[in-house]
């Protein structure tokens, strides 16, 4: 029998179960949605190995295709929205140091280095194979989970996470460590799936998530609850925006319907892009 959270893991508020299939609870106070089941570190390591390293791994593109492109020193593409945030908050001439949580094979670290090799970069990556690949690229990374932040002697202008915060079981500890390791005025810059994209599918099955289920994704964010969570943990100037347009699927009728919904403001974007500042 697994252990469970009995109150909100962010604010200790009362939690109501809103998804019985995946045991998701929602806090009645801060509206945070999370899996109330508590998983072990060994389970996480096994899951990530299956996702990135197995022969038929779901995210093999990240561990193979992108890695080969990085080895060949090709121009690095991190996507429109990520590159926009990185340029604004990291490659702005004011940022001198960056810590990336869940740095993977080193895509973001290599992109930053390619554009400004004077920025001090450090990455933390749990998966051993991804970490090993980042080392062959000469990146400053460590093989550990986010708790390694407590052992770092440096502080940073930016801490960044790309599709990572939804994986962190002890989110409260992460927020505390991030606040400690940021310089005054430093920023958290991240992306994460939008839980509310379920509303793009009115005929969805009960409890359907449209993103990875636990134990892969453990935290589920909306535009409002992500602001609540960070504001409760001493961050300010919290700004969350959605990816405006659906993913390109020109052969799908639903794609054109979603484009129309986007134009009239009725489409729930798949991804949240978020920035918060240390008080």
Would you state the pLDDT for residue 248? 82
Would you state the pLDDT for residue 51? 73
Would you state the pLDDT for residue 247? 84
Burial of 216 per CB tally in 10 Å (0-12, 13-18, 19+): middle
Would you state the pLDDT for residue 20? 97
Q: Is the pLDDT of residue 24 over 90?
A: yes
- Return the domain boundaries, the chain: 80-278
Work out the percent of the chain whose per-residue pLDDT is above 90.
75
Q: Is the pLDDT of residue 48 over 80?
A: no
Question: Which alpha helices (DSSP H) does the chain contain, by range?
Answer: 41-52, 60, 66-71, 80-89, 107-115, 128-136, 171-181, 223-231, 253-263
Higher pLDDT, 164 or 63: 164
| Predicted confidence band of residue 7 (pLDDT cuts 50, 70, 90) | very high
**Integer Cα distance of 139 and 248 in angstroms:** 33
Would you state the pLDDT for residue 216? 93
Tokens of 3: 């252990």
Would you state the pLDDT for residue 59? 65
pLDDT digits (tens, 9 = 90+) for 208-261: 999 999 999 999 999 999 999 999 999 999 999 999 888 888 888 888 888 888
Q: Compute CA 270 distance to the chain's CA centroid, rounded to the nearest angstrom.
A: 13
Tokens of 82: 């990520």
Is this prediction's pTM over 0.85? yes
Higher pLDDT, 128 or 160: 160
Would you state the pLDDT for residue 54? 67
Q: What is the arithmetic mean of pLDDT over 27-44?
A: 94
| Predicted confidence band of residue 43 (pLDDT cuts 50, 70, 90) | confident
Class of domain 80-278: alpha beta
Work out the percent of the chain whose per-residue pLDDT is above 70.
95
pLDDT digits (tens, 9 = 90+) for 73-106: 888 999 999 999 999 999 999 999 999 999 999 9
| Predicted confidence band of residue 55 (pLDDT cuts 50, 70, 90) | low
- Collect all residues with Cβ–Cβ distance below 8 Å to 209 and sequence separation of at least 6: 19, 22, 195, 198, 217, 220
């Amino acid at each position: 029998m697994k252990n469970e959270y009995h109150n909100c893991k962010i604010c200790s508020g009362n939690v109501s179960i809103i998804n019985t299939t995946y045991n998701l609870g929602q806090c009645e106070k801060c509206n945070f949605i999370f899996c109330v089941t508590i998983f072990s570190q060994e389970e996480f390591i096994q899951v990530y190995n299956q996702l990135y390293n197995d022969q038929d791994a779901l995210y093999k593109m990240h561990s193979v295709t992108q890695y080969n492109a990085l080895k060949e020193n090709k121009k690095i593409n991190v996507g429109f929205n990520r590159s926009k945030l990185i340029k604004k908050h990291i490659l702005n001439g004011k940022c001198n140091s960056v810590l990336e949580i869940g740095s993977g094979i080193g895509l973001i670290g290599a992109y930053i280095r390619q554009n400004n090799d004077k920025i001090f970069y450090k990455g933390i990556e749990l998966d051993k194979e991804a970490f090993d690949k980042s080392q062959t690229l000469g990146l400053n990374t460590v093989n550990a989970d986010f708790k390694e932040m407590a052992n770092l002697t440096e502080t940073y202008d930016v801490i960044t996470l790309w599709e990572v915060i939804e994986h962190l079981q002890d989110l409260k500890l992460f927020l505390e460590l991030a606040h400690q390791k940021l310089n005054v005025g430093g920023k958290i810059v991240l992306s994460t799936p939008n839980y509310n994209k379920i509303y793009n599918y009115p005929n969805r099955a009960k409890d359907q998530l449209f993103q990875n289920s636990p134990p892969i994704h453990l935290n589920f964010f909306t535009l409002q609850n992500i602001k609540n969570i960070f504001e409760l943990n001493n961050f300010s100037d919290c700004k969350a925006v959605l990816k405006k347009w659906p993913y390109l699927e020109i052969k799908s009728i639903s794609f054109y319907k979603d484009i129309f919904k986007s134009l009239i403001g009725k489409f729930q974007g798949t991804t949240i892009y978020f920035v918060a500042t240390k008080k």
